[in-house]
Amino acid sequence: MTIIDCARLGKRYGRSWALRDCSLAIPGGQFVALVGPNGAGKTTLLQIAVGLITPTEGTVTVLGCEAAGSPGALDRIAFVAQDAPLYQNLPVGDMLRVAAHMNQRWDPQLARTRLAELAIPQRQKVASLSGGQQAQLALTIALARRPELLVLDEPLAMLDPLARHDFMAAVLAAVAEDGLSVIMSSHVLAELERAADYLILVSKGRIQVAGEVDDLLSHHRLLTGPTAQTDKQAERMSVVHARRGGSQSHLLVRAPAADPGPAGWESRPVGLEELVLAYLREPGVAALPGPTADGPSRATIGPSKGVRA
């Protein structure tokens, strides 16, 4: 099942496009990392997918064939934003009761059990909880809805390292136990690297990279070699990003793992953080497609030429 399927999706505010020409088919059963700089269009894409805003152009369906924002879709998707919509003056128990009345599918035992395990008293007011506890409460409410797709928009932004770790552990446990599909927007690349199966990178309102993490990593290499040969090597390779030194340069290139690279150049695999940062430093370059449930990704593909000094 495809959890989000969009074709030429776009959203315009006045004369500015927050998202443009976005075509994706994201397979289910994945932990999807959505990354990009501030203002790239990540939140816009997620809000369209969960039905909070309508696109200016293009089409989008979720969970196979449901129209985004339709009753059928809303009943199967849980959304947690950075600013969780919690009533600060309510006790935690009352917050759960409000959520139960607002959702058709609700698992009270799951909610009570999670809060007990987290040592969050139901009589305590939401406002008195720490940032990590409030994030866990928002996640508890989302999971108690028993969704098929969990959408998380920058849930780690205001959390300290320990709270981030605990939050991610809870999400991964839910994925393992309940088979959830997750799409999460975040700037915390270290946390995403250990969790993500699928990567989407957005820059300037357009999709730059979309695909299975393992496939993307296996088709990129970091080359280190003589600076004097940099331009020559760039002519025969698809360079994502280049960093020149005095005597040596480092090129992150699109190349399969079996490619040994040019003679005299050292070749090594790249990590997810290296890959993401390279594309963020050179926005607008081509993306390698990754497979989807129905075949290749529909993200726009094209060769990258030249080197950035």
Question: At residue 82, does pLDDT exceed 90?
Answer: no
CA neighbor of 257 nearest in space, from 227, 214, 201, 300: 214
Specify the long-range contacts of residues 173-179, CB closer than 8 Å, at least 24 apart: 174/143, 174/150, 175/31, 178/143, 178/146, 179/29
| Tokens 């139960």 belong to residue | 100
Kindly report the backbone phi and psi dihedral angles of residue 14, in degrees, each rounded to the nearest multiple of 5, phi listed first.
65, -125
Between the alpha carbon of residue 88 and those of residues 55, 91, 129, 192, the distances in Å are: 32, 8, 9, 29
Residue 218 is encoded by which pair of tokens? Answer: 């296996």
Question: What pTM, to 2 d.p., does this model score?
Answer: 0.84
In this predicted structure, what is the pLDDT of residue 188? 87
Residue 246 is encoded by which pair of tokens? Answer: 């005095």
Report which secondary-structure segment, H or E, holds 53: none
pLDDT band of residue 294 (cuts 50, 70, 90) is very low
CA neighbor of 109 nearest in space, from 78, 140, 148, 147: 140
Kindly report the backbone phi and psi dihedral angles of residue 237, in degrees, each rounded to the nearest multiple of 5, phi listed first.
-130, 165
Show the domains of the chain with their CATH numbers. 2-204 (3.40.50.300), 219-296 (no CATH)
Query: What's the mean pLDDT in 219-233?
Result: 87
Task: Kindly report, residue by residue over 36-57, the tens digit of the pLDDT.
Answer: 998 899 999 999 999 999 999 9
CA neighbor of 153 nearest in space, from 278, 65, 50: 50
Query: What's the mean pLDDT in 166-195?
Result: 90
Burial class (CB in 10 A: 0-12, 13-18, 19+), 258: exposed
In this predicted structure, what is the pLDDT of residue 60? 95
SS3 readout for 122-133:
CCCEHHHCCHHH
Task: Give the integer Cα–Cα distance in Å for 99 and 105.
Answer: 10
Task: Kindly report, residue by residue over 110-122, the tens digit of the pLDDT.
Answer: 999 999 999 999 9
| Tokens 């990567």 belong to residue | 199
Q: How many CB atoms lie within 10 A of CB 277?
A: 16
In this predicted structure, what is the pLDDT of residue 245? 80
Task: Give the integer Cα–Cα distance in Å for 203 and 40.
Answer: 5
